[in-house]
Chains A and B, each alone.
Chain A
Amino acid sequence: MAAGFKTAEPLEYHRSFLKENCRPDGRELAEFRTTTLNIGSISTADGSALVKVGNTTVICGIKAELTNPTVEAPSKGYIVPNVDLPPLCSSRFRPGPPGEQAQAASQFIADVIESSDVIQTEDLCIERGKLCWVLYCDIMCLDYDGNLLDACIIALLAALKNTQLPEVTIKPEACTPEVNLEKRNGLLIHKHPVGTSFCVFDNSILIVDPTAEEEGLSSAHFTVVTDEGDRLCSVHKPGGTALSGEKLQECISRATARQREIQKLIDKVIQSVKAAE
């Protein structure tokens, strides 16, 4: 009976739960799904992380390559993030070039990297005007069950923290770089941005960490990205129903709390990886 009701009237089904201040999967309105993190599992990448937020699974692999800096910014390297939603992760995605959602997510991640200063591109410069690193951050969704952006940011941050770049020396006489793959150094992570996504139901009910189903039924999406200094790196609301000032404040305080939790989680996982080595 309940299953039939859910299929025929999905919105009513969700409303009947929200009225009681809970959700169909048993969570409270402001409760996240269990977040798990696995760091450095891909040995072919220079840094990698796998994040699970409930069912949503995202993997990020970072590969560093050498290139020439641009003339306009001779002392800056590049960070090239891309989000891919392959047909593997959900039946809603088709094979072929990235769709609108994947493209918008890629740009959003690129904006977060730039706004938050998680890495300063100056750190990626090896020799001014001649040689610099380009970090290809390829983020791939393996299981799409909502809240893609949060999972992508966690995966990216954890993978960046895991990244070890080989040492490069430039021989002055030959002018060619020499790479020592055995000796590697970590990246300097300046900030720890973490995202928190919300969905609005019926113009007033706010839920955190929506599933794919909840995302489809809600009337607005909203993502706040904060760093450890409680500064906002992005307040992204692409439209939908309006949000009042008090609700916004509520979202921001939830986001700062979430930032603490995730930073603690990343540190814990990195510690345990180090201990295992």
Chain B
Amino acid sequence: MPTDNKRVRRPEVSQSPSVFACRPAAVLPAAGPRADGRRRDQVDVRPVFVRCGLVSQAKGSAYIEAGNSKLMCCVYGPRETDRKDETDMKCGRLITDMRFAPFSCPERGSWIQGSEEKDLSLMLQESLRPAVCLHRYPRSQVEVNVMVLENSGSVLSHAITCASLALADAGIEMYDLVLGCSIRQDGASYMVDPTYLEENGCSSGSEDNQGRLTVAFLPSLNQISGLQSDGEMAEETLTAGVRTCIEGCYKLYPVIQQALAKATRKAAPPPSES
């Protein structure tokens, strides 16, 4: 790796202490309740904590906490496009940037944006774009910055929810909110809103139908704006999975609505009765 001369010098090689840990790697149990007490095969999303408008400098911002997953999103714009050659006279541009803080994962990450972060940024952009009225912002760009402070699984789905909330908080015109939900299919059973371990842990069970699925959903239009799946799943399993994710999104919906209403009320208090 070339030395990074824009940061304080670090030793050339270093290893995470978990490499030398004496205990064996955790294996996902094939059946029974999940590590955090939630049930399998149930639309059992982690309770979320959501707040809007935390960042003073941003046009709109949101913070979401689901279990130990913590994400923050700030929206800037609409403003003049950075790259003049890409100015679109009819339609605005939506720019997304999703990053993991170096301390957010069990293994320390690099400051430099990796391919995973670039992929996630692109998926986030594709999931949000159908919901944003970009034709209302010609020749300008709207920037969505997501920072993962702690990764405890399902970061993409929470990033989608968080980003749409921040966009709404920024007053960017949208057709609908976008909610995200993901599942981990493990053989015949599935786990909704998986944790980091459930997402990445290898299963001891069957080899068939192993996969992950993330759905971005527009709740009031009842449309799907983003779908991302990897692994190997049978057709019926996949369609059932999508349905499960939609159900998960509906569970989140009232919490998100409430947070947005609260922020709006705070920003523009209703006229007093007296």
Which A residues form the contact surface with B (CB < 8 A)? 41-45, 48, 55, 57, 59, 61-68, 70, 78, 80-82, 84, 86-91, 95, 97-98, 103, 106-107, 110, 134, 136, 138, 140, 142-145, 166, 168, 176-181, 212
Contacts and interface: CB of A to CB of B under 8 A. Distances in A.
Nearest to B74: A88
Given A42-B150, A43-B68, A145 B57 contact: yes
B56 A145 contact: yes
User: Max chain A CB contacts within 10 Å: which of B14, B68, B104?
Assistant: B14
A138 B101 contact: yes
Interface residues of B, number: 47
A91 B22 CA distance: 46
Nearest to A143: B55
18 contacts: A42-B70, A57-B55, A59-B101, A59-B149, A64-B17, A66-B19, A67-B14, A87-B143, A91-B76, A103-B7, A134-B11, A138-B102, A142-B72, A145-B57, A179-B19, A179-B22, A181-B21, A212-B57
Contacts of B143: 87
A107 B8 contact: yes
Given A98-B6, A212-B57, A181 B97 contact: no
A203 B41 CA distance: 68
Given A44-B151, A63-B103, A87-B97, 14 more contacts: A45-B103, A55-B56, A63-B102, A67-B11, A67-B15, A68-B11, A80-B9, A80-B10, A134-B11, A143-B56, A145-B56, A178-B22, A179-B20, A181-B18
Contacts of A84: 111
Contacts of B97: 87, 95
A138 B103 contact: yes
Contacts of B145: 86-88
A142 B103 contact: no
A78 B99 CA distance: 26
